């Protein structure tokens, strides 16, 4: 039985990651809801993780850098989401909205 | 099961970082035992920690070492930047000590967060590995999101924090995707290793695509962080909304740290591709100069004007960054030096300018309109002189630090064979002088709009004096600073 | 590493025991600090200290003039301290025959400007004196700096005090005038900076010695160690030229200057600003002509056209002015045209005449501004038609003004004639210019007589206006100031050699540098 690296060529995985990144990017840019934007950004980071793990597995399986980095990215994403949600809640308390377009008292 | 071997750690490399992070954690605990009315003590303690960390760096001068498997490096470059970050942190805290209670937002976490931000900046300066760069970037950014929104429940501050977070996280996504592609192209995350790989072997076309796409994404991500056009849109809003001392830190520390790591990344990992990235960055530099300075020209709000002006300054620093990668050794050297000197001068100047705004800000009331500066010379002569010195320095008029910074970057860019961007830069500098001068004219030549008492406490005065004196000393006696940055050179290019 | 090499030491390095030039440069700045430390109310002490500092600087300048050896062409009394050694920047000050005159002129006019302002400054007199003194320091620095970067630093250093003097104490349009002044000169100076950086780098790349020292660069250029190709030379010449042309100001860059003159607070300050614009002409000689003789010879006809247009245009506008200060401001622009014409004649007469005319126009125009200031103080208006018949009530002022006006017009026997005649002679003989340029310039000189005498006749002749019937004649202080200014007008007119003697060698040397390029025409 062929190993996974033989059955699925690297470009396929990269294409998947690229597609996921673009979906996330589109979400982040098109969503008006701040929670939605955060979700889009999370998708982008997940695409990165797929990339990192794929490169590690296909190209440098002996060096753990890629794998480690993916762990870091997951951690950082969690921290970012925590801060982001806290801020969304703070704004929601003050303005009763999570819509990015309505949060516009700064303009110039 | 292979045994995990932890290599010995060279603590010299991590000494300053450990002091800052350790002290910040200790302060978090101490803060529990300090009554709310005396929160200011935490601020003083934070300054003490900063000074200790700075002093701890003195015996480290001349050390050129790395640890954590080459992830963290200490060289003259990072040490100089660490000192710069510590200086800007100390001044920022001094400026905040009175500002926070006046705005009713004094909480001990503020000082701890500022220390963590400093740690993030130092990571960016010392990071020799893409992982560390990413970590430093995110640590710095996440802390700054919170600090930007620190004036809760002031809605402008919350909004600015939110905006900064969304844009920052977005930019972080770009950086990290770029890093992944770079890793795919070269099989390494260490900056020097990437540089060596590129110098040693030709990449396959596929790998080359990954490399260039990855580098472009990283530059875009850092472009957001340092507010370089066309990725600058967030900066004016965030700068305006954030509490003023945080704005100072943002405009100074975060920008300097972003440039520090961008420079190291471009020079150590991608020096071989200079022919490709130099023209791109040159175009971005010109765009940044144009956007920043034209934006600043039309502003009536001084805080926003300073935001646009700091975008403009990113353009000048980019001149130095471009020169730093030049294949001609002399020009490259000059480039690195010029970036550092510019950052030093710019840090003191901008902190001074924001310090004056802090002094003007009354309780909960914004005083950032041009009209609020009218006749400051009659109300507070020294405040007006400090602001005038900072404005002249930002405009690049001798004898101030800003002049030497400009002279240095122009010389470096010219040496790197880009006389034409020097010409554009110089012309834009002439235009920019106009809006800085408008502020000076407003302070000295207009009648005061209203007689408002201006509270000035000792810490604010000390911070402001330090920043202004820094600008002037750098202007009159630039030799020590120039000698300092000239020793740095080999560290980053070696 | 070539960048770290120290600049080559000058051939003429003489450290005298007393750094006379530095004393002269920094005394006013020191005086400014002392004045600022004095109590706000003690106006008498402020005036005393500032005047004292200015007089001490004058004494130092006289000392410089005494130590100066007119037989030498090069830089004398050199004082050199390394400033930023790794860049080849040094604090080098010295004088040659050309800068000596401007230094003496500055030292002479500063105390007069200070004394003339007494009583005309309504508020914050302390800061006013301090700024005038700082400006004097900057001017001394500009005229003595022999390091390009030091020159630039002093050049910029003069901007801020001037802008503040105009903007804080000036007339109704003061903010506009101050910003316009600053915007114009600063825009010019960035081109100057670019030229300096360019010359520095080209010199460094060609010789391996990175230095801003003017004497070293001049030697490299003359000995052929640094050969600029024609394009590069013209480019750098052009960058320097833009900077100095705006400062000078050469038509069409003159508009900042007329506003600045008209809005300047007291007449004393105008005299200082009058010195400020001499920096432009001085820079043209020191940098454009001395360093780039070939490009200067190439550009001379075009610059000559600008100069002649300036002479005629400004004279015409001056004639139409009803505001006395503006009239004199345009007269200054016209004088500048003549000075530039003399410089770009590129021969000994032309340049010597130009330097002499800088001195003379600063004296006569400066004195006339003082007169106007006195008139304005008595009448409260700058309009020419508000005056008339002053001769009857103010005989002293009337006669002195006539003398000064005639000196400015160029009556033989007074100082203006000597320098104007020499400039015109130089431009007539110059192969680059010739009679086509000189004849219109002579027409401009005739115009000068028309507008100045028109002003004099309107203000001093005819029927005395009732508002002025009881205006007092000059007070002793005013009389002393006017006599101090009128004395050199007569003396230099009778003994022109006193004016030309010290500068002869330096001017000849500069003019000789251009000979090969003019001969090839």
Q: Which of B184, B221, B173, B226 is nearest to A25 (CA)?
A: B173
pLDDT at C13: 42
Q: CA C490, CA B353: separation in Å to the nearest integer? A: 53
Task: Tokens for C281, please give them.
Answer: 């002409």
Give the mean pLDDT of C466-478.
Answer: 75
Does C6 score more than 50 pLDDT? no
CA distance to partner chain B, nearest, from residue C501 (Å): 36
Cβ within 8 Å of residue C303, ≥6 positions away: C241, C250, C340, C344
Q: CA C321, CA B371: separation in Å to the nearest integer? A: 36
% of chain C with per-residue pLDDT over 70: 95
Query: Which fold would CATH assign to domain A8-97?
Result: Helix Hairpins (1.10.287)
C450 touches chain B (CB under 8 A): no
Mean pLDDT of chain C: 83
Give the mean pLDDT of C424-436.
Answer: 83
C303 touches chain B (CB under 8 A): no
Chains C and A touch (3+ CB pairs under 8 A): no
**Which is more confidently placed, C2 or C373?**
C373
User: Within a domain: residue B421?
Assistant: yes
User: Within a domain: residue B59?
Assistant: yes
In total, how many domains does chain B have?
1
% of chain C with per-residue pLDDT over 90: 5
- Which residues share a beta bridge with B73? B66
Q: For chain B, what is the largest distance between any 2 Cα atoms, rounded to a whole number of angstroms?
A: 79
User: Within a domain: residue B5?
Assistant: no
Q: Which of B16, B50, B84, B75 is nearest to B259 (CA)?
A: B84
Using one digit for the tens of pLDDT, what is the confidence trace for C255-264? 887 777 777 7
Give the mean pLDDT of C165-180.
Answer: 81
Q: CA C331, CA C314: separation in Å to the nearest integer? A: 7
Three-state SS at B369: strand
Q: Which of B316, B263, B300 is nearest to B374 (CA)?
A: B300
**Which is more confidently placed, C5 or B449?**
B449
Q: Do A90 and B187 touch (CB under 8 A)?
A: no
| Residues recorded for chain B | 494
Using one digit for the tens of pLDDT, what is the confidence trace for C374-384? 887 777 777 77
pLDDT at B494: 45
pLDDT at A103: 61
- Which of B351-360, C5-14, C330-339, C427-436 is least confident? C5-14
The dihedrals phi and psi of B365, each to the nearest 5 degrees, come to -120, 130
Give the mean pLDDT of C202-208.
Answer: 86
pLDDT at C42: 81
pLDDT at B115: 95
Residues of C in contact with B427 (CB under 8 A): 190
Task: Tokens for C104, please give them.
Answer: 């003496």
Q: Which of C359, C371, C360 is nearest to C328 (CA)?
A: C371
pLDDT at C315: 87
pLDDT at A67: 84
- Please report, to the nearest 10 degrees, the dihedral formed by the alpha carbons of residues C304, C310, C313, C318 taken in order: -150
Taking one residue from B and the other from C, the number of pairs with CB-CB distance under 8 angstroms is 83
Does C3 score more than 50 pLDDT? no
Q: Do A103 and B184 touch (CB under 8 A)?
A: no
C195 touches chain B (CB under 8 A): no
pLDDT band at C14 (very low <50, low <70, confident <90, very high): very low
pLDDT averaged per 10 residues, chain B (length 494)? 73 89 93 86 92 91 82 88 93 90 85 94 91 91 91 82 89 90 86 85 84 92 88 88 91 91 89 85 92 89 90 92 82 88 93 89 68 80 89 89 90 86 87 87 78 70 89 89 78 47
User: Is residue C83 within a helix (H) or strand (E), and if so which, with residue range?
Assistant: strand C76-84
CA closest to C178 among chain B residues: B441
pLDDT at C10: 39
Listed in sequence order, the DSSP H helices in C431-475 are 435-460
Count the Cβ atoms, other than its own, within 10 Å of residue C172: 8
**Which is more confidently placed, C87 or A104?**
C87
pLDDT at C332: 86
Best-predicted range by mean pLDDT (B51-60, C163-172, C387-396): B51-60
Residues of B in contact with A79 (CB under 8 A): 138, 142
Residues of A in contact with B158 (CB under 8 A): 87, 90-91, 94
Q: For chain A, what is the largest distance between any 2 Cα atoms, rounded to a whole number of angstroms?
A: 63
Q: Do B479 and C164 touch (CB under 8 A)?
A: no
Q: Do B165 and A91 touch (CB under 8 A)?
A: no
pLDDT at B485: 84
Residue C73 Cα distances to A82, C63, C492, C496, angstroms: 77, 19, 22, 19
Does C268 score more than 70 pLDDT? no
pTM over 0.80: yes
Domain residue limits, chain A = 8-97
pLDDT at B87: 93
pLDDT at B249: 92
pLDDT at B349: 93
CA distance to partner chain A, nearest, from residue B292 (Å): 13
pLDDT at C11: 35
Per-residue pLDDT of chain A (108 residues; tens, 9 = 90+): 567 777 778 888 888 988 999 999 898 888 888 888 889 998 999 999 998 888 888 887 777 778 888 898 999 999 999 999 988 888 888 777 666 666 655 554
Give the mean pLDDT of C305-328.
Answer: 86
Give the mean pLDDT of C148-177.
Answer: 85
pLDDT band at C120 (very low <50, low <70, confident <90, very high): confident
């Amino acid at each position: 039985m062929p190993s996974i690296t033989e059955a699925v060529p690297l470009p396929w995985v990269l294409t998947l990651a690229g597609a996921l990144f673009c979906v996330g990017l589109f979400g982040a840019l098109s969503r008006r809801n701040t929670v939605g934007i955060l979700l889009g950004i999370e998708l982008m980071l997940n695409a990165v993780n797929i990339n990192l793990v794929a490169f590690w597995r296909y190209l440098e399986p002996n060096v753990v850098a890629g794998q480690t980095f993916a762990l870091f990215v997951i951690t950082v994403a969690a921290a970012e989401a925590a801060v982001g949600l806290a801020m969304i809640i703070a704004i929601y308390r003050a303005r009763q909205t999570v819509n990015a377009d309505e949060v516009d008292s700064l303009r110039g | 099961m292979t045994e995990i071997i932890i290599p010995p750690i060279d603590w010299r490399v991590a000494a300053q970082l450990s002091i800052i992070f350790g002290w910040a954690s200790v302060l978090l605990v101490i803060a529990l035992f300090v009554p709310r009315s005396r929160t200011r003590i935490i601020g003083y303690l934070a300054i003490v920690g900063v000074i200790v960390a700075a002093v701890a760096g003195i015996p480290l001068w001349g050390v050129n070492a790395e640890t954590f498997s080459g992830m963290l490096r200490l060289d003259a470059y990072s040490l100089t930047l660490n000192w710069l970050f510590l200086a800007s942190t100390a001044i920022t805290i001094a400026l905040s000590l009175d500002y926070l209670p006046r705005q009713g937002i004094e909480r001990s976490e503020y000082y701890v967060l500022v220390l963590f931000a400093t740690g993030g900046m130092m990571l960016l300066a010392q990071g020799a590995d893409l992982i560390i760069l990413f970590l430093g970037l995110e640590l710095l950014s996440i802390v700054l999101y919170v600090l930007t929104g620190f004036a809760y429940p002031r809605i402008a501050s919350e909004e600015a924090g939110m905006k900064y977070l969304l844009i920052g996280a977005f930019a972080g996504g770009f950086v990290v995707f770029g890093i992944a592609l770079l890793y795919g192209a070269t099989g390494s995350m260490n900056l020097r290793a990437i540089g060596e790989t590129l110098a040693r072997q030709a990449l396959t076309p596929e790998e080359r695509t990954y490399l260039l796409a990855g580098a472009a994404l990283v530059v875009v991500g850092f472009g957001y962080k340092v507010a370089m056009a066309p990725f600058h849109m967030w900066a004016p809003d965030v700068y305006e909304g954030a509490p003023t001392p945080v704005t100072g830190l943002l405009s100074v520390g975060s920008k300097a740290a972003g440039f520090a790591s961008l420079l190291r990344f471009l020079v150590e990992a991608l020096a071989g591709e200079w022919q490709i990235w130099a023209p791109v960055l040159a175009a971005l530099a010109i765009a940044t100069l144009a956007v920043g300075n034209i934006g600043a020209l039309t502003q009536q709000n001084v805080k926003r004007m300073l935001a646009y002006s700091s975008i403009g300054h990113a353009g000048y620093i980019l001149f130095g960054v471009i020169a730093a990668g030049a294949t001609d050794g002399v020009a490259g050297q000059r480039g690195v030096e010029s970036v550092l000197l510019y950052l030093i001068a710019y840090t003191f100047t901008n902190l001074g300018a924001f310090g004056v705004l802090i002094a003007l800000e009354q309780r909960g009331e914004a005083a950032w309109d041009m009209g609020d500066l009218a006749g400051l010379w009659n109300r507070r002569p020294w405040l007006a002189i400090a602001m005038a010195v900072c404005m002249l320095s930002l405009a690049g008029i001798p004898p101030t630090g800003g002049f030497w910074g400009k002279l240095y970057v122009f010389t470096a860019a010219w040496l790197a064979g880009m006389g034409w961007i020097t010409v554009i830069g110089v012309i834009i500098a002439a235009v920019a002088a106009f809006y800085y001068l408008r502020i000076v004219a407003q302070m000295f030549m207009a009648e005061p709009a209203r007689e408002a008492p201006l509270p000035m406490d000792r810490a604010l005065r000390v911070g402001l004096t330090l920043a202004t004196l820094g600008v002037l000393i750098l202007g009159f006696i630039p030799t020590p600073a120039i000698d300092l940055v000239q020793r740095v050179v080999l560290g980053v290019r070696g | 590493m070539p960048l770290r090499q120290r600049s080559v030491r000058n051939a003429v390095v003489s450290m005298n025991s007393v750094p006379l030039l530095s004393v002269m440069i920094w005394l006013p700045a020191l005086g400014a600090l002392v004045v600022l430390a004095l109590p706000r109310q003690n106006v008498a002490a402020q005036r005393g200290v500032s005047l004292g500092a200015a007089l001490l600087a004058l004494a130092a300048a006289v000392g410089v003039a005494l130590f100066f050896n007119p037989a030498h062409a090069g830089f004398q009394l050199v004082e050199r301290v390394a400033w930023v050694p790794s860049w080849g920047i040094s604090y080098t000050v010295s004088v040659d025959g050309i800068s000596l005159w401007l230094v003496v002129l500055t030292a002479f006019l500063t105390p007069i400007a200070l004394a003339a302002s007494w009583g005309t400054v309504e508020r914050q007199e302390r800061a006013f004196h301090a700024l005038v003194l700082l400006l004097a320091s900057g001017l001394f620095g500009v005229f003595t700096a022999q390091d390009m970067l030091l020159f630039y630093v002093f050049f910029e250093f003069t901007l801020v005090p001037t802008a503040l003097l105009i903007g804080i104490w000036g007339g109704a349009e003061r903010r506009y005038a101050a910003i316009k002044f600053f915007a114009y000169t600063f825009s010019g100076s960035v081109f100057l900076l670019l030229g300096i950086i360019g010359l520095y780098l080209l010199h460094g790349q060609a010789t391996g010695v990175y230095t801003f020292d003017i004497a070293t660069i001049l030697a490299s250029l003359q000995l052929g160690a640094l050969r600029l190709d024609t394009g590069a030379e013209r480019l750098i010449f052009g960058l320097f030229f833009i900077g100095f042309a705006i400062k000078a100001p050469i038509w069409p860059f003159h508009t900042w200057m007329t506003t600045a003159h008209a809005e300047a607070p007291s007449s004393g300050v105008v005299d200082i600003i009058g010195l400020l614009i001499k920096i432009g002409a001085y820079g043209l000689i020191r940098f454009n002509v001395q360093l780039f003789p070939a490009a200067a010879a190439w550009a001379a006809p075009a610059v000559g056209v600008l100069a002649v247009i300036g002479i005629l245009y400004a004279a015409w506008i001056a004639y139409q002015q009803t505001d006395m200060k503006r009239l004199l401001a345009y007269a200054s622009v016209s004088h500048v045209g003549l000075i530039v014409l003399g410089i770009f004649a590129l021969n000994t007469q032309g340049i010597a005449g130009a330097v002499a005319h800088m001195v003379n126009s600063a004296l006569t125009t400066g004195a006339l501004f003082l007169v106007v200031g006195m008139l304005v103080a008595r009448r409260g208006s700058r309009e020419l038609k508000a005056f008339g018949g002053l001769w009857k009530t103010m005989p002293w002022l009337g006669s002195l003004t006539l003398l000064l006006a005639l000196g400015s017009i160029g009556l033989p026997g007074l100082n203006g004639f000597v320098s104007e005649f020499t400039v015109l002679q130089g431009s007539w003989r110059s192969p680059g210019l010739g009679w086509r340029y000189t004849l219109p310039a002579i027409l401009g000189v005739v115009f000068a007589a028309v507008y100045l005498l028109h002003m004099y006749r309107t203000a001093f002749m005819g029927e005395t206006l009732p508002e002025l019937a009881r205006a007092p004649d000059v007070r002793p202080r005013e009389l002393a100031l006017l006599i101090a200014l009128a004395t050199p007008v007569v003396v230099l007119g009778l003994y022109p050699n006193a004016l030309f003697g010290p500068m002869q060698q330096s001017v000849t040397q500069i003019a000789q540098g251009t000979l090969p390029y003019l001969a090839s025409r």
